[in-house]
Amino acid sequence: MSSAKVLLVDDEKDFTETLSERLKLRDLEVYTASSGTEALDLAKQHRFDAVILDLQMPGMDGIETLKFLLAADADQQVIVLTGHGTISKSVEALKAGATDFFEKPIDIQKLSEEIGKAATHRLTLLQERSAQAIEDVLKKKGW
């Protein structure tokens, strides 16, 4: 999939740099944030097709960041990718609205496929919302 806009959120700088480069080689537009706060600031400035989010970060953790991202944009597709995964954390993340949950390391092809699915799902949600808005206007106007 080409031209998807992805936000990669992880406090491990080496990891974000490496993963960012690998995703860019797959024609993805990649932004990086090293904290939840930085991710929220970027999400205010850009619309992302997918957010790849770590759970364990100093300050605002991944679950809190996830909740704020979804509060700001309910259609946001957030894929949790963490090195500290547990069953209880995965359940918590999915209940909070994460699209999916994976543990590091992840195969780059698998991650690319998941980003593609997330971007497609986001587009579908936005199209449905737009169609509903048009239908509502037509009903109000009586056309």
Range of the domain at 60: 5-141
pTM across the whole model:
0.91
CA 137 to chain centre: 31
The pLDDT of residue 1: 43
56, 62 contact by CB (below 8 A): yes
Q: How confident is the model at residue 85 (pLDDT cuts 50, 70, 90)?
A: confident
Rounded mean pLDDT, 36-64 = 97
CATH no. for residue 22?
3.40.50.2300
For residue 2, pLDDT over 90 is answered with no
If one counts the domains in the chain, the total is 1
For residue 141, pLDDT over 90 is answered with no
Rounded mean pLDDT, 67-84 = 96
70, 78 contact by CB (below 8 A): yes
Angle, CA 74 vertex, CA 16 and CA 43 arms, to 5°: 40
Give Cβ neighbours of residue 78 (< 8 Å, ≥ 6 apart).
Answer: 50, 51, 53, 66, 69, 70, 97, 98, 99
The pLDDT of residue 84: 83
Phi-psi region of 142 (alpha: psi -120 to 50; beta: other; left: phi over 0): left
- Percentage of the residues of the chain whose pLDDT score is greater than 70: 98
The pLDDT of residue 128: 94
Cβ-based neighbour number of residue 39 at 10 Å: 29
Rounded mean pLDDT, 46-57 = 97
